[in-house]
Amino acid sequence: MEAASTRGESGMTAIEFVLLTPVLFFLIFATVQFALYFFADHVAQAAAQAGARKARATADENPGGWRGEATDVVDAYIRQLGPKLVLGPDVKTLQPEQNTVGVEITADVPSVFPGLDLQVHAQSSGPVERFVEEEG
């Protein structure tokens, strides 16, 4: 009796393997996609903050050129930290108020799943820094 029940279940391991393998691969690829997205988001945030720092520091003394300098800093950060991770960045300089400047970045993230289009968005702004001579 024991031999019959063992013989009947001999293929169950192969069937379980075939059924669970796609689930395992999906979990692995989902983990990789999650990591790619959050690392790309981190790179975009760091680049936006660096660009905004440059914009804040140069907008007062270089009113016509701070936008180009901030964009150059953003591009350099992205090239250094994640050129194949932050794809096609769209960098916009912002001046929402008279004495406030900043940077906004929108970019695509590489996808491990066909048809999944993810984007990261980062924005940073702050008041323009001015040198004020001390009286007295």
Average pLDDT of the residues of the chain: 89
Domain positions in the chain are 14-127
Model confidence pLDDT, tens digit, residues 54-102: 999 998 888 889 999 999 999 999 999 988 999 999 999 999 888 999 9
Q: What is the pLDDT of residue 16?
A: 81
Q: What is the pLDDT of residue 117?
A: 93
Assigned CATH for 14-127: 3.30.1300
107's CB contacts (< 8 A; 6+ apart) are 40, 44, 78, 86, 87, 88, 89, 90, 119, 120
Q: What is the pLDDT of residue 64?
A: 82
Adjacent-strand bridge partners of 119? 108
pTM reported for the whole predicted model: 0.80
